[in-house]
Structure 1
């Protein structure tokens, strides 16, 4: 039963950290242009520095 008194604050701390990271990502425009990032992988240029 005493482990609950440890796990609940740890879980609350993880949730607070996740919320802070999410709001930081939204504030720093990480989700602004999702279409361009999704299509970048389709039009990836061949690198000339590859050794074949």
Structure 2
């Protein structure tokens, strides 16, 4: 029965550590920009195609 108390205590300590890390990351602004990455994913292929076309044109010239 004492093992359950030890495991419960350790799990609560780990949960508090993860919560504290989340709060610190939140205060530092890590989660501020949530729109740009989702839009960047949609247009990334076009940017890569344009860059390869430009590099192909410069290599041929």
When the two structures are superposed, what TM-score results if normalisation uses the length of structure 2? 0.64
Residues 20-39 of structure 1: matches in 2 within 5 Å? 20-39=20-39
Q: Which protein, 1 or 2, shows the higher relative CO under an 8 Å CA cutoff with sep ≥ 6?
A: 1
| Stretches of structure 2 lacking an aligned partner (at least 5 in a row) | 53-61
Greater helix proportion: 2
Kindly tell me the number of residue pairs found equivalent between the two proteins.
48
Which protein shows a greater Rg? 2
When the two structures are superposed, what TM-score results if normalisation uses the length of structure 1? 0.72
RMSD: 1.7
| Stretches of structure 1 lacking an aligned partner (at least 5 in a row) | none
